[in-house]
């Protein structure tokens, strides 16, 4: 297949998967514009009424927005020229990536001026995430960089110097400040955010603001003025609430889908994530399986790969059940050429048509050379996964290798030693007086001379947006998360940490949230085997006083 073009720099912050195992110490084991009084009224034909114009400038995953629009019964017309923007009856701009890169593309193609004119005419417009930020005067991201200058204000980074976890990832509550059609039914609900930069309310832009959100400070989560709407969150990834918001824009005269808020949202929720380990079984079928300390074969005489269901079916059910995210881990990805793994790409495409919460994929995100000698960079591999429906990419083995290289060339020995000491804990798995958390690669088969603490610190400095933290010793045991490991890593970094491995009861989720700074907890087997439903986890967390999306 021809190589896919890479996205612009900063198209997506990737996550890092850390596979850790406690080993005995020393014994390696395993401008603002002012609108006029008049607005342009357009009478659309029947065909135009069911078609939305989408501005996709080629960065990150826009498939999710496409799928949500189509799910709501609308067709899509893609912008190919500035004239397409000016001819649009309704325009959706799902901006992703870096502010400067996006403005470069929009300016170079003439689309920036077309956008300004479209908005000046007060035509129906919905910006999403970066599509909101670009409306402001400028951004400090790799800047200052000038924006479209529609709304007064500067986009700034969240301040992580006082312990705030950045990026702001997850489900947070909206505080609606203006009655708008767009946000009808959204009050009291969580919506999904993923961003490191934000716009602050001010006297100059207060008339634009329709809702705010609190994360360390109050920031603008949506704007509304006439027909111009934009949101910082991702409605296409905000479940039924998000789909209702999208429908309010696409069908402003309809009543929309009202979603019962249940328990009123108040702040950032802890996330419950369903994980699906996907691989081919001995018959060549792609199945969801589950390992026991990474061993996915039955202990019976058959030694067959455990088959716990079909990936798309399970992902769809977990979305219905209330999972806040779904993660696919292609656990044979390190052995095969991932761009040749058409079934896994198809799983992503199909799942993204049914699952309107974030999708993560991991496994095989690395440089490859195919049988014909054609070289593919890890960026090309990741780009194809994004285009197939992934919202986040999880990098495992290559993240370890990159961290090792970084520490060898970018850190002095004294600092490295200090980090190693942080990986040591008292009492090992076999009763040793001291042990340390050693990282592994290749699905846990190979050990590396780097500790979990120093790896976490290194990948944060290298730009990882989130850490998925596994523990081989706890995997499949059902005895709870490794609290010491999760606390050590989540205290060490200012990016979100997902606790993984070991969940066997609802109490394990409240324990990890109460005793560590984990932003999310992930489970697999207990959901696949229907031992503990996602709803039971959420109900328990509510009873324990933990903020969750319900």
> For the domain that residue 330 is a member of, what is the CATH number?
3.20.20.70
Q: What pLDDT is recorded for position 28?
A: 33
Tell whether 191 and 333 lie within a shared domain.
Answer: no
49 pLDDT band, cuts 50/70/90, is: confident
Tell whether 309 and 224 lie within a shared domain.
Answer: no
* 220 falls within a domain: yes
Q: What pLDDT is recorded for position 374?
A: 85
Q: What is the domain extent for residue 401?
A: 268-409+452-544
In tens, the pLDDT along 279-298 reads 766 566 677 765 554 455 55
Least confident of 3-7, 231-235, 459-463, 469-473: 3-7
* 188 falls within a domain: yes
**114-130: b (≥16 Cβ within 10 Å) or e:** bbbebbebbbbbbbbbb
**8 Å CB contact between 168 and 215:** yes
CA-to-CA dists, residue 299 to 65, 288, 304, 531, angstroms: 43, 17, 8, 20
Establish whether 159 is a catalytic residue.
no
Tell whether 345 and 214 lie within a shared domain.
Answer: no
CA neighbor of 276 nearest in space, from 395, 171, 360, 333: 360
Top pLDDT among 256 and 175 is at: 175
CA neighbor of 179 nearest in space, from 214, 209, 219: 209
Catalytic residue among 23, 56, 129, 466: 129
Tell whether 94 and 163 lie within a shared domain.
Answer: yes
Name the phi and psi angles at 218, rounded to 5: -80, 125
CA neighbor of 363 nearest in space, from 438, 441, 296: 441
Tell whether 472 and 397 lie within a shared domain.
Answer: yes
Please determine, for residue 357, whether its predicted confidence score (pLDDT) is greater than 70.
yes
Q: What pLDDT is recorded for position 271?
A: 98
Q: In three state form, how does the secondary structure of 325-340 look?
A: EEEEEECCCCCCCHHH
Q: Which is it for the CA torsion 361, 489, 534, 285, positive or negative? A: positive
**8 Å CB contact between 389 and 404:** no
Tell whether 157 and 302 lie within a shared domain.
Answer: no
Radius of gyration, CA atoms only, the chain: 23
Give the integer Cα–Cα distance in Å for 336 and 139. Answer: 41
* 20 falls within a domain: no
In tens, the pLDDT along 490-537 reads 999 999 999 999 999 999 999 999 999 999 999 999 999 999 999 999
* 1 falls within a domain: no
CA neighbor of 90 nearest in space, from 121, 112, 63, 64: 121
Give the integer Cα–Cα distance in Å for 269 and 266. Answer: 8
**8 Å CB contact between 338 and 365:** yes
Tell whether 535 and 395 lie within a shared domain.
Answer: yes
Tokens of 24: 């005995």
* 326 falls within a domain: yes
In tens, the pLDDT along 159-210 reads 999 889 999 999 999 999 999 999 998 988 999 999 999 999 999 999 999 9
Please determine, for residue 262, whether its predicted confidence score (pLDDT) is greater than 70.
no
Last residue of a domain, one of 190, 217, 250: 250
Least confident of 91-95, 410-414, 440-444: 410-414
Helix/strand/coil percentages in the chain, nearest 5:
30, 25, 45
**Average pLDDT estimate for 40-56:** 64
Last residue of a domain, one of 221, 250, 279: 250
Q: What pLDDT is recorded for position 252?
A: 83
- CATH code: domain of residue 233: 3.40.50.880
303 pLDDT band, cuts 50/70/90, is: low
Cα of 337 vs its chain's centroid, Å: 24
Percent of the chain having pLDDT more than 90?
61
* 156 falls within a domain: yes
Tokens of 516: 């560590």
Tell whether 79 and 192 lie within a shared domain.
Answer: yes
Tokens of 28: 């390696």
Catalytic residue among 47, 203, 299, 412: 412
Give the integer Cα–Cα distance in Å for 485 and 503. Answer: 14
Please determine, for residue 414, whether its predicted confidence score (pLDDT) is greater than 70.
no
Tell whether 217 and 364 lie within a shared domain.
Answer: no
> Considering its fold, how many domains does the chain have in total?
2
Establish whether 47 is a catalytic residue.
no
Catalytic residue among 234, 508, 528, 540: 234
Tell whether 331 and 185 lie within a shared domain.
Answer: no
Burial of 112 (0-12, 13-18, 19+ CB in 10 A): buried
Q: What pLDDT is recorded for position 46?
A: 41
Strands 466-471 and 218-225, bridge-based pairing:
unpaired
Q: What is the mean pLDDT of the chain?
A: 84
Q: What pLDDT is recorded for position 8?
A: 36
Tell whether 476 and 354 lie within a shared domain.
Answer: yes
Give the integer Cα–Cα distance in Å for 517 and 487. Answer: 6
CA neighbor of 519 nearest in space, from 543, 477, 489: 489
End-to-end, the C-alpha distance of the chain in Å comes to 43
Sheet holding 209-214, edge to edge: 75-78, 51-54, 91-95, 125-129, 228-231, 218-225, 209-214, 175-176
138 pLDDT band, cuts 50/70/90, is: very high
**Average pLDDT estimate for 353-380:** 87
Q: What pLDDT is recorded for position 300?
A: 58
Establish whether 234 is a catalytic residue.
yes
Say which residues have a Cβ less than 8 Å from residue 98's Cβ, sequence separation at least 6: 8, 9, 10, 11, 141, 142
Q: What pLDDT is recorded for position 434?
A: 79
* 40 falls within a domain: no
Give the integer Cα–Cα distance in Å for 132 and 233. Answer: 9
* 27 falls within a domain: no
Establish whether 367 is a catalytic residue.
no
Q: What pLDDT is recorded for position 380?
A: 86
- DSSP codes of every residue in 484-519: HHHHHHHHH-SS-EEE-S---SHHHHHHHHHHS--S
Q: What pLDDT is recorded for position 468?
A: 96
Q: Is 541 helix (H, G, I), strand (E, B) or coil?
A: helix
Q: What pLDDT is recorded for position 366?
A: 79
Establish whether 213 is a catalytic residue.
no
* DSSP structure class, residue 179: -
Tell whether 231 and 346 lie within a shared domain.
Answer: no
Last residue of a domain, one of 223, 250, 277: 250
Please determine, for residue 78, whether its predicted confidence score (pLDDT) is greater than 90.
yes
In tens, the pLDDT along 19-37 reads 555 444 333 333 333 333 3
């Amino acid at each position: 297949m021809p190589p896919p073009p890479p996205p612009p720099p900063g198209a997506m912050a990737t996550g890092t998967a850390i596979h850790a195992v406690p080993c005995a110490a020393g014994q390696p084991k395993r401008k603002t514009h002012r609108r006029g009084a008049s607005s342009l009224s357009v009478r659309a034909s029947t065909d135009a009424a069911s078609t939305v114009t989408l501005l996709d400038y080629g960065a990150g995953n826009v498939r999710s927005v496409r799928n949500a629009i189509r799910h709501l019964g609308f067709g899509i017309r893609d912008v190919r020229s500035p004239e397409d923007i000016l001819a649009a009856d309704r325009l959706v701009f799902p901006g992703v990536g870096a502010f400067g890169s996006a403005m470069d593309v929009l300016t170079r193609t003439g689309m920036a001026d077309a956008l300004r004119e479209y908005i000046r005419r007060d035509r129906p417009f919905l910006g999403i995430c970066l599509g909101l930020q670009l409306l402001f005067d400028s951004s400090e991201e790799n800047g200052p960089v000038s924006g479209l200058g529609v709304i007064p204000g500067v986009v700034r980074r969240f301040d992580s110097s006082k312990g705030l976890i950045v990026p702001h990832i997850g489900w947070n509550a909206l505080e609606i400040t203006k009655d708008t059609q767009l946000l009808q039914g959204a009050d009291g609900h969580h919506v999904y955010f993923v961003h490191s930069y934000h716009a602050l309310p001010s006297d100059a832009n207060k008339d634009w603001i329709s809702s705010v959100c609190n994360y360390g400070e109050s920031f603008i989560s949506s704007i509304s003025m006439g027909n111009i709407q934009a949101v910082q969150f991702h409605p296409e990834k905000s479940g039924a609430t998000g789909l209702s918001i999208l429908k309010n824009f696409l069908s402003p005269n309809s009543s929309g889908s009202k979603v019962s808020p249940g328990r009123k949202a108040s702040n950032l929720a802890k996330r419950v994530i369903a994980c699906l380990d996907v691989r081919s079984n001995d018959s060549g079928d792609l199945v969801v399986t589950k390992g026991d300390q990474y061993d996915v074969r039955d202990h019976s005489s058959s030694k067959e790969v455990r088959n716990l269901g079909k990936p798309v079916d399970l992902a769809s059910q977990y979305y219905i059940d209330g999972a806040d995210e779904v993660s696919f881990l292609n656990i044979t990805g390190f052995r095969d050429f991932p761009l040749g793994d058409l079934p896994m790409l198809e799983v992503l495409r199909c799942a993204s048509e049914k699952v309107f919460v974030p999708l993560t994929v991991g496994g095989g995100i690395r440089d490859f050379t195919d049988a014909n000698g054609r070289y593919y960079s890890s960026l090309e591999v990741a780009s194809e996964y994004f285009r197939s429906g992934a919202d986040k990419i999880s990098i495992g083995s290559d993240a370890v290798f990159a961290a090792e290289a970084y520490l060898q060339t970018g850190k002095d020995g004294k600092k490295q030693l200090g980090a190693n000491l942080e990986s040591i804990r008292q009492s090992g798995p076999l009763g040793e007086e001291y042990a340390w958390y050693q990282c592994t690669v290749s699905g846990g088969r190979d050990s590396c001379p780097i500790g979990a603490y120093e790896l976490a610190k290194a990948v944060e400095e290298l730009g990882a947006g989130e850490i998925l933290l596994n523990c081989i010793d706890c995997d499949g045991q059902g005895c709870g998360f490794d609290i010491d490991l999760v606390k050590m890593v989540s205290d060490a970094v200012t990016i979100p940490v997902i606790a993984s491995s070991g969940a066997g009861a609802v109490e394990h989720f409240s324990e990890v949230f109460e005793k560590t700074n984990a932003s999310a907890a992930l489970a697999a087997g207990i959901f696949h085997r229907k031992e503990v439903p996602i709803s039971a986890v959420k109900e328990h967390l509510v009873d324990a006083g933990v903020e969750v999306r319900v």
